[in-house]
Amino acid sequence: MTPGPSSVASVLRLRDEVRRRLRGLFEAEGFLEVDTPSLAGEVLPEPFIDPLHLELADGDRRFLQASPEAHMKRLLAAGSGPIYQFARCFRDGERGPRHDLEFVLLEWYAPGTTLDDTAGLLGRMAAAILGRERPERIGCREAFRLHAGIDPFTATPAALAEAAARGGIALPESHATGTPAERFDRLFELLLAEAVGPRLGHGRPVMLEAWPASQAAFARVVGDRPPIARRFELFIDGVELANGWEEETCPRRLRERIEQANQVRLADGRQPLPLPERFLAAHEPALPEGVGVALGFDRLVMLAASADSIDAVRCFSSETA
């Protein structure tokens, strides 16, 4: 529910206070605040995220950005150095206590850093905003074994489905179709959302790391027994608050992953999206290695207010705007 007139001022003050503390933290860390377009001719294709788009008077199509990632990486490739922004983002079909069609992402990129550095920054952020201690770092293998009773690095799609059934998790019909790799990814994400994630970060924040390579997104993959994606998700009180990774900078590998994302979209009956050629071209001179992170600002304010919905800490929702 959107706050009533008596609480609007308190919501505005809380959002302002959280934003000011974050700005102070990033300024002290040497970051520059930037702004990038919300409407653009390109969007990063993702398997399970549908962007909103507009048809212009001349028939051209523009996308409302689901994340500022593409434009911020173009700034990095142009030599911006460490940057952050509070970005208005848009995703079709996403509405719930922690989701909306329009929301605010705090996104940052830190060239020359690793997940070790990121853990320190997240710890300072958790202390400054929520009074929490530095995150505990747990691998996907350990977390899935503990909370879902299965090793995601050795499990087959059938074994993941059995683990979901043991946990009383209903399987959507879509999870029984597609290639084995597609079924694995859907079932992994279902177990993460329903069995693992809600049990993480109660008391002390948890940084869930060392993901299966198929879940890499744009993360760097290391090793081969098994290959591991250098990505993470941050959980506080069972809420997924942030995700990020050590960036894959090879344009060829990124193109392959984007093409794979479009293949998944096609298999799910959704339209493929145009390849983001400007984004890929920015990697040709060599995007600097480092870490990028996206954090749900509305969720962070929700946690700061001990609320159970982002609507409790916003003055407008997609229904009331």
Q: Could you tell me the two tokens for 273?
A: 């999206």
Q: What pLDDT does residue 225 have?
A: 87
HEC-encoded secondary structure of the chain: CCCCHHHHHHHHHHHHHHHHHHHHHHHHCCCEECCCCCEECCCCCECCEECEEEECCCCCEEEECCCCHHHHHHHHHCCCCCEEEEEEEECECCCECCECCEEEEEEEEEECCCHHHHHHHHHHHHHHHHCCCCCEEEEHHHHHHHHHCCCCCCCCHHHHHHHHHHCCCCCCHHHHCCCHHHHHHHHHHHHHHHHHHHHCCCCCCEEEEEEEHHHCCCECEECCCCCEEEEEEEEECCEEEEEEEEECCCHHHHHHHHHHHHHHHHHCCCCCCCCCHHHHHCCCCCCCCEEEEEEEHHHHHHHHCCCCCHHHHCCCCCCCC
Q: What pLDDT does residue 5 have?
A: 46
Q: What pLDDT does residue 267 have?
A: 83
Judge residue 196's burial from the number of C-beta atoms within 10 Å of its C-beta, 0-12 exposed, 13-18 middle, 19 or more buried. Answer: buried
pTM: 0.94
| Residue ranges of the chain with per-residue pLDDT less than 70 | 1-6
Task: Give the tens place of pLDDT for each residue, 73-102.
Answer: 999 999 999 999 999 999 998 899 999 999
Q: What pLDDT does residue 2 have?
A: 54
Q: What's the CATH number of domain 5-135+204-313, 3.30.930.10, 3.30.1440.10, 2.60.120.580, 3.30.300.10?
A: 3.30.930.10
